[in-house]
């Protein structure tokens, strides 16, 4: 549903303009409501300003303060091009740029306008859904993530997201409250447990306790997601957070590894936009000549794999890691910086999965047209791999 606010010069015949309006909006083929009361601008539905005629710049100018107070979305100017409406839209957009306000003129054939409005609707829904969300950092970022800190103020100001610090001691206390072999632990691990080595089967109850403890923190602090300093668990409880993060992500709760806050934010943004889970992984090898990049990590959301098996955690050889098979096809590699000042979105193709013993357990080989970013200007090591091609939408959301 679109909420359309109109700008019309009094010099034009209203009956003629109304006829053009009905024909033009009808040709786009989207459900809409024409709203006369500008106090509703920026409400739940996407707000679009339909510049119906020329001579409307002076009408728009005094409305801008009200528009900016109502919403942080860019100002979208729809025009048919009739009655000098495109010229007026260009003058308005130029004024917006002078004021430091983002905007866009939506103009072209009906098919293009329809497609663009649907894209914008998806982007703005994602932007609104992020505002007010709460994410936890359980333990501090891992010591080796020297370039992966986050600016909590910038994240809040830009996206309306709150980040809450939670101590590792609090998580360990939650784990201690649980029985050593929780009811349903082995059943929750699924059929993949039957094919696992005995060492991995023995680790299943402990891995499930970590999941239950994290779920308790999610409920306690009303979190929409978290990142976990997972390597501390290797010494503290002789287990891993891989199963917990895999399950949480599959339940729609963003969950990333190693206390990597930018990775958590990247996954939150991509989920808000696409509605699907993403795979946090780091490049293990790159072939600049062929464009093939091998990404790997020891956990993957269970809802984005066609099948999976359990293994040990790669680096430590203990606990439970997950070897998932991710669907081949189009993907986007995405990452934001901790202050949201930079991002990268690279479209490519997932060529194949592999299962080499000397790498983190889930391993995917991607083809990307240009791999120079990773070798010259990367945003940390972890990146989020999302099914489908989303570069233009991600770029627009973070512009």
| Domain residue limits at 365 | 134-397
Per-residue buried b or exposed e for 129-167, using 16+ beta carbons within 10 Å of the residue's own CB: bbeebebbbbbebbeebeebbbbbeebeebbebbbeebe
Q: Given pLDDT bands bounded at 50, 70 and 90, which one contains residue 299?
A: very high
Q: What is the pLDDT of residue 72?
A: 85
Q: What is the pLDDT of residue 45?
A: 81
Three-state secondary structure call for residue 158: helix
Same domain (yes/no): 119, 141:
no
156 within 8 A of 162, measured Cβ to Cβ: yes
Place of tokens 């939650």: 174
Q: Given pLDDT bands bounded at 50, 70 and 90, which one contains residue 186?
A: confident
Same domain (yes/no): 233, 313:
yes
CA distances from 185 to 198, 202, 253, 337 (A): 15, 11, 19, 37
Give percent of the chain above pLDDT 70. 100
Largest CA distance in the chain: 82
Same domain (yes/no): 124, 100:
yes
Give the Cα separation of 82 and 90 in Å (integer): 14
Q: Given pLDDT bands bounded at 50, 70 and 90, which one contains residue 192?
A: confident
Per-residue tokens: 127: 């932007």
Total structural domains within the chain: 2
Question: Which of 104, 130, 156 is at the close of a domain?
Answer: 130
Give the Cα separation of 186 and 146 in Å (integer): 37
- Residue 30's Cβ-count burial label (10 Å; 0-12, 13-18, 19+) is middle
Same domain (yes/no): 194, 258:
yes
Q: What share of the chain is helix, strand, coil (3-state, %, to 5)?
A: 40, 25, 35
The CATH number linked to 52 is 3.40.50.10940
């Amino acid at each position: 549903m679109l909420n359309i606010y109109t700008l019309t010069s009094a010099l034009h015949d209203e009956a003629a303009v109304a006829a053009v309006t009905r024909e033009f909006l009808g040709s786009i083929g989207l459900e809409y409501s024409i709203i006369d009361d500008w106090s509703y601008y920026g409400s739940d539905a996407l707000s679009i300003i339909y510049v119906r005629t020329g001579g409307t710049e002076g009408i728009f100018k005094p409305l801008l303060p009200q528009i900016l107070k109502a919403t942080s979305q860019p100002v979208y100017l729809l025009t048919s091009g009739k009655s000098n409406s495109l010229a007026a839209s260009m003058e308005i957009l130029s004024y917006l740029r002078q004021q430091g306000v983002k905007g866009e003129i939506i103009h072209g054939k009906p098919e293009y306008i329809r497609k663009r409005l649907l894209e914008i609707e998806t982007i703005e829904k994602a932007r609104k859904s992020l505002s007010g969300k709460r994410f936890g950092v359980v333990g501090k970022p891992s010591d080796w993530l020297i370039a992966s800190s986050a600016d909590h103020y910038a994240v809040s100001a830009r996206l309306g997201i709150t980040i809450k610090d939670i101590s590792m001691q609090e998580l360990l206390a939650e784990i201690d409250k649980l029985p050593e072999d929780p009811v349903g632990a082995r059943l929750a691990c699924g059929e993949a447990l039957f094919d696992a080595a005995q060492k991995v089967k023995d680790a299943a109850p402990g891995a499930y306790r970590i999941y239950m403890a994290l779920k308790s923190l999610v409920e306690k602090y009303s979190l929409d997601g978290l990142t976990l300093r997972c390597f501390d668990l290797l010494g503290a409880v002789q287990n891993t957070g891989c199963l917990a993060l895999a399950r949480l992500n599959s339940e729609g709760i963003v969950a990333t590894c190693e206390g990597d806050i930018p990775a958590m934010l990247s996954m939150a943004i991509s989920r808000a936009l696409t509605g699907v889970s993403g795979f946090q992984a780091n490049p293990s090898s790159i072939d600049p000549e062929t464009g093939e990049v091998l990404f790997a990590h020891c956990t993957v959301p269970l809802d984005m794999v066609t099948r999976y098996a359990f293994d040990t955690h790669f680096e430590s050889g203990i606990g439970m890691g997950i070897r998932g098979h991710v669907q081949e096809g189009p993907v986007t590699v995405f990452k934001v910086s901790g202050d949201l000042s930079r991002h990268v979105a690279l479209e490519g193709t997932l060529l194949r999965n592999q299962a080499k013993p000397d790498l983190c357990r889930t391993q995917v080989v991607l083809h990307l047209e240009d791999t120079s970013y990773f070798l010259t200007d990367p945003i940390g090591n972890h990146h989020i791999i999302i099914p489908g091609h989303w570069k233009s939408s991600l770029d627009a959301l973070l512009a």
